[in-house]
Amino acid sequence: MLNIGGLNQGIVIDHIEAGGAMNIYSYLNLEKLDCSVAIIKNAKSNKMGKKDIIKIEGTLDIELDILGVLDRNITVNIIDDGMIKEKRNLKLPEKVTNIIKCKNPRCITSIERDLPHSFRLTDREKGVYRCIYCEQAFKRI
Amino acid sequence: MKHLISPLDLTVSELKEILDLAGEIIQNPKKYATVCQGKKLATLFYEPSTRTRLSFEAAMLNLGGSILGFSSADSSSASKGESVADTIRVISSYADICAMRHPKEGAPLVASSYSSIPVINAGDGGHNHPTQTLTDLLTIQTLKGKLNNLTIGFCGDLKFGRTVHSLINALVRYENMNFMLISPEELKIPAYLREEVLDANKIPYQEVKLLEQVMPSLDLLYMTRVQRERFFNEEDYIRLKDSFILDAKKMEFAKEDMLVLHPLPRVNEIATEVDSDPRAVYFKQAEYGVYVRMALIMKLLEVA
């Protein structure tokens, strides 16, 4: 088992679907952070078989629920003083704008300039988001 | 009600109002011959569609209004790269109402958010075609006398056929409907319609590959064309285009009062020998399209 040091203060993004960590890394623009960031790929998981984990030393100024749009199984642990202060299951937002992009080549978003990419949650149980313009479902990772 | 983008923008009672008004127009068209005098309809057709465009134009002319517009993206500023948002901002000051056909899905929704005049979706890619749905509903109501307790077969391209998607969305709101979905494997109805519309509304349906298999049970058969323009691969189109051809022999299996609908244009999915069968009502259906668009224009312009 690969050993990554614990955090004193920060965020652990856990239960990322194996192979999805870089997508989350890129979405959160973590390359721009000065603090330590650890990406653990293909970690053993009793629940998932394999999973990815991201550990971030420090705070992030974003609405973390948005991560659920990218991967609905993600859990977030807020670490303070070396302890898990909060274990958070993400609540899928009803609507997201300019977080994910519609990949339907027939969608108006593929040609119209400056059009926000907006999706609405159409099935909370399955975590399905559909483009408000063409209704194409967003396919994760 | 200001815009009509999706068939679901209209409640069942609003649909009824439009269909009832269309019925009144059929009975007494002269009564409505001047209700839109001084009003202008812009037909913004980024994709050729002679039938739908002329149907809208005939509807406005029948109401005493006038028309302006373009019939392909090549003959509009879209060819110079103008956005839908900018086009509709300008057109809003030229016309009182507009009908938009666009190859990209969601374009009329974009237009509606920048428009100060009512926008009617006249078809957006493979997505929605609500005025065709109104046409279909008026045809069914007028010729069947009801919009419930029907077994309807949808045949052909159920994947890209926006008329089918829109009509199913509208019909699931009526009582005791039963659907037979007849298509090749590659052109089956999209999963979201199956799961979020049919399953979610507990609508009974069967997916089959042979028209003959379900023909005797149908009250209505809604035929569709396999559309060349929706395929990225010509080979797939050629392989699938003749999957279902309705001919006189197949009609022998149908009920005596079964009706055949088709949004038109027809290519070869209905043999011309079927045209003389009294159950073939697709040309009547096209005629009803004008009446229902007249009713819609009147409702959106609030002159009815």
| Residue B26 belongs to some domain of the structure | no
Domain residues of chain A, as ranges? 10-89, 95-131
Counts of helices then strands in chain B (DSSP H, E): 11, 9
Nearest to A111 among B104, B126, B196 (CB): B104
Give the chain B residue whose CA is nearest to the CA of A110.
B104
B115 with B141, same domain? Answer: no
Give the chain A residue whose CA is nearest to the CA of B126.
A106
pLDDT tens-digit readout, B37-65: 999 999 999 998 888 999 999 999 999 99
CB contact under 8 A, B105 and A134: yes
Q: Tell me how far apart the alpha carbons of residues B133 and B9 are, in angstroms, rounded to a whole number.
A: 12
**Mean per-residue pLDDT for B245-272?**
94
Q: Which residues contact B93 (CB under 8 A, 6 or more apart)?
A: none
φ, ψ of residue A52 to 5 degrees: the values are -110, 155
The CATH number linked to B137 is: 3.40.50.1370
Nearest to B104 among A106, A123, A136 (CB): A106
Q: Tell me how far apart the alpha carbons of residues A74 and A90 are, in angstroms, rounded to a whole number.
A: 7
**Hey, which residues of B are catalytic here?**
51-52, 80, 101, 129
* pLDDT computed for residue A141 by the predictor: 54
B124 with B137, same domain? Answer: no
Q: In total, how many domains does chain B have?
A: 2
| Residue B19 belongs to some domain of the structure | no
pLDDT score of B229 more than 90: no
The CA–CA distances, whole Å, from A70 to A16, A59, A99 equal: 10, 20, 9
* Interface check A123 vs B, CB under 8 A: yes
CB contact under 8 A, A112 and B102: no
* pLDDT computed for residue B225 by the predictor: 85
Q: Which residues contact B115 (CB under 8 A, 6 or more apart)?
A: B3, B88, B89, B91, B92, B98
Is residue B225 a contact partner of residue B265, using CB atoms and an 8 Å limit?
yes
* pLDDT computed for residue A21 by the predictor: 93
Domain that holds residue B43: 33-128
Q: Give B256-282 as a DSSP string.
A: TT-EEE--S--SSSB-GGGTTSTTB-H
* Interface check B83 vs A, CB under 8 A: yes
B140 with B237, same domain? Answer: yes
CA distance B104 to chain A (A): 5
pLDDT score of B130 more than 60: yes
B251 with B278, same domain? Answer: yes
Quote the tokens at residue A141: 């990772």
Q: How would you classify the pairing of strands B220-223 and B150-155?
A: parallel
| Residue B8 belongs to some domain of the structure | no
pLDDT score of B215 more than 70: yes
* pLDDT computed for residue B302 by the predictor: 96
* Interface check A115 vs B, CB under 8 A: yes
Length of chain B: 304
Among B111, B128, B145, the domain-final residue is B128
A10-89 CATH, one of 3.30.499.10, 3.30.70.140, 3.30.450.20, 1.10.10.10: 3.30.70.140
Give the chain A residue whose CA is nearest to the CA of B195.
A123
CA distance B80 to chain A (A): 13
B101 with B240, same domain? Answer: no
* Interface check B196 vs A, CB under 8 A: yes
B75 with B137, same domain? Answer: no
B139 with B280, same domain? Answer: yes
Q: Tell me the residue ranges of DSSP E strands in B73-216.
A: 97-102, 119-124, 150-155, 177-182, 205-208
Which pLDDT band, with edges at 50, 70 and 90, does B147 fall under?
A: very high
Q: Which residues of A touch B192 (CB under 8 A)?
A: 122, 128, 130, 135, 137
Residue B168 is which amino acid?
I
Q: Which residues of A touch B5 (CB under 8 A)?
A: none
Give ipTM to 2 decimals: 0.85
Q: Tell me how far apart the alpha carbons of residues B100 and B78 are, in angstroms, rounded to a whole number.
A: 13
* Interface check B77 vs A, CB under 8 A: no
B272 with B136, same domain? Answer: yes
CB contact under 8 A, B109 and A133: yes
State the burial class of residue A29 (Cβ atoms within 10 Å of its Cβ: 0-12, 13-18, 19+): exposed
Give the chain A residue whose CA is nearest to the CA of B123.
A134
Q: At what angle do helices B84-91 and B107-114 cross, to 10 degrees?
A: 50
B192 with B55, same domain? Answer: no
Tens-of-pLDDT digits for all 141 residues of chain A?
A: 555 667 888 999 999 999 999 988 888 888 888 888 899 999 999 889 999 999 998 877 777 888 888 888 899 999 988 888 998 888 899 999 988 899 999 999 999 999 999 999 998 888 899 999 999 999 875
B122 with B252, same domain? Answer: no
| Residue B299 belongs to some domain of the structure | no
Is residue B270 a contact partner of residue B259, using CB atoms and an 8 Å limit?
no
Neighbours of B213 (CB within 10 A): 14
| Residue B67 belongs to some domain of the structure | yes
Among B78, B98, B128, the domain-final residue is B128
Q: Tell me how far apart the alpha carbons of residues B149 and B153 are, in angstroms, rounded to a whole number.
A: 13
B144 with B260, same domain? Answer: yes
CB contact under 8 A, A106 and B85: no
Is residue B263 a contact partner of residue B136, using CB atoms and an 8 Å limit?
yes
pTM above 0.90, yes or no: no
Instruction: Give the helix/strand (H/E) hosting B122.
Output: strand B119-124
B118 with B188, same domain? Answer: no
